[in-house]
Amino acid sequence: MGKTIIISNRLPVQLQISNGSITAVPSVGGLATGMKSVHKGGDSLWIGWSGLTDEEIPNELAKDIDKALAAHGAAKVNLSDKEVEGFYYGFSNRTIWPLFHYFLEYSEFELESWNTYKTVNQKFADAILEHADNDDTIWVHDYQLMLVPQMVREKRLDISIGFFLHIPFPSFEIFRTLPWRKEILEGLLGADLIGFHIYDYERHFLSSVRRLLGLEVSFNEIYLENRVIKVDSFPMGIDYKKFHDAAKVHEKTDSNQQSELQQRLNQHKKNDPEAKFLLSIDRLDYSKGIAKRLNAFEYFLNKYPQYKEKVRLVILAVPSRSNVPQYQLLKKEVDELVGRINGKFSTVSWTPIWYFYRSMPFENLIDLYTSSDIAWLTPLRDGMNLVAKEYIATRTHKTGVLILSEMAGSANEMNEALLINPNNFEQIADALNEAINMPIEEQKARNEVLQRRLERYNVEKWANSFMNSLQAQKNREAYNISKKLTDSLLAPILKKFEKAQKRLLFLDYDGTLAGFHVDPKKASPDEDLYKLLDELSQQKNMELFLVSGRDKDTFEDWFLHKKYNMIAEHGVWISRKGEKFR
């Protein structure tokens, strides 16, 4: 068993240059935390961009950086300013990110950024090939690196490759608008296992593969000429123990040792014990629906005026991609909305919205999670949304209410939350009213179920589940290769076939009788194939069936006049000897 190589856009460490020396500090984040068990659990290497461009790294420190990263089991991919601009800020975040989150109007289709994306993906693939042995396991992460699996596969046919997409995969109608849609799909199909957060994303991907590439798809498997690719869903969890234990420690902290933020929260509770804190934490991203949430909050205050001075919305908007124009416009819009709503409803003693535009350390996140009565998270699209899970994990007394958008991937696992449509202000206002008045017993009943589920399927379980599935898929492939029909196996089968009194022969069409093609005309039978099938069907005591996933109309055009038995669309339709499909 070889080593595990993890590949992501960013490394799990941050480099800091100070006084001519380099320090590597471990990152605190979902992926870095999630991969800890895989990265630290055995022989492994993490490959990614260091966060510093070629222009930012002094020549005399280049070797020191490599040593600092090696101490953390990491190796860097070198990127220039131009490559980061075109690959990351360009194609990844001005094309793929908005498109995959259904913001088609924000997507930019620029050939130059696409070419840079290809160039950088090749750099990552080359880095893998430099470090990988044939018995290693490769795990590639996320939308920035969707071409990498096939680039590696072209050089290492037998190596084990997994890919996980951390954002939604859009419906076929959205995905088909991408000019380089086939190249993206073909890049992903270099993997043995392709993972998504939820089944909906998996279903969209399989639909695009079938309709754009014309490949045979059966349930959650894609059939290539020499390989079978498995596609599955693996909902990402959190480090439940970390958040739950931190909340317990927080409860025992003396008031004089609490943070300034916690003391401010405490004062608010002291002034009005019946007042409720509503918590909203997101990156400042148009997919998170922050502007709509603010408008919905205004709608709520107008519909339920009795809650004026009785609720406070705490918004933490973490800065993100501030050099991308759409994010600059969003920041302006959110600032203006907060100012307008506070100006409209504020009193001498009450400001309805506390707005923080900055990152917060872990300790302050715990302050917010444990002090908030309601977590209100309404993304317009979100691959998962781990904040919802983190909030529930910190509720040590099992009180608190989660209001969650049904557009978040985590909604599939969190039916005990109050699920809402983020575009329905009426429903949101009613959900806020329900949350404010929810009995303690009901809060505890809902959260107890959620906590048990989150504790059981934590982030370590997610990572291990993916790795085990990848290993099982590779083992299955090795088993199938070992069972190929050799001459020694074929001889006794032919002997038995010749002696049989009755013979039933099922022949798969695509990939067996004809090659895989997107265009049905290119896969149509020729005279040689008709002749072969005629000879087989006319043999004594022979019952012949042609089997395919193709549509019945195509099969009727090709074979109905020949009066073969046919099964089309994976068993949905059957035709017996010249009869119409039924």
Q: Which residues pair with 542 in a beta bridge?
A: 503
Q: Return d(Cα 581, Cα 566) in angstroms, integer.
A: 8
Phi-psi region of 135 (alpha: psi -120 to 50; beta: other; left: phi over 0): alpha
Neighbours of 402 (CB within 10 A): 26
Q: Which residues pair with 277 in a beta bridge?
A: 312
Please state whether beta strands 221-223 and 216-218 pair in parallel, antiparallel, or not at all (unpaired).
antiparallel
Q: Which helix (H) or strand (E) holds 479?
A: helix 459-482
Radius of gyration of the chain (CA): 28
Q: Return d(Cα 509, Cα 569) in angstroms, integer.
A: 12
Strand runs labelled E in 227-283: 228-233, 276-283
Strand runs labelled E in 352-498: 353-357, 374-377, 401-405, 418-420
DSSP 172-215: HHHHTT-TTHHHHHHHHTTSSEEEESSHHHHHHHHHHIIIII--
Q: Return d(Cα 333, Cα 337) in angstroms, integer.
A: 6
Q: Which residue has the tokens 């549509």?
A: 551
Q: Which helix (H) or strand (E) holds 74?
A: strand 74-77
* Position 81, amino acid: D
DSSP 489-504: HHHHHHHHHHH-SSEE
Q: Which of the residues are catalytic?
A: 508
Q: Which residues pair with 401 in a beta bridge?
A: 374
Q: Which of 9, 33, 407, 42 is nearest to 237 (CA)?
A: 33
408, 384 contact by CB (below 8 A): yes
327, 334 contact by CB (below 8 A): no
Q: What are phi and psi of 376, to 5 degrees?
A: -120, 105
Strand runs labelled E in 493-564: 503-508, 542-547
**Measured on CA atoms in the order 262, 268, 272, 277, is the torsion positive or negative?**
negative
Q: Return d(Cα 527, Cα 366) in angstroms, integer.
A: 72
Q: Which residues pair with 408 in a beta bridge?
A: 382
93, 324 contact by CB (below 8 A): yes
Tokens of 580: 């119409």
How far from the centroid of its chain's Cα atoms is residue 534's Cα?
49
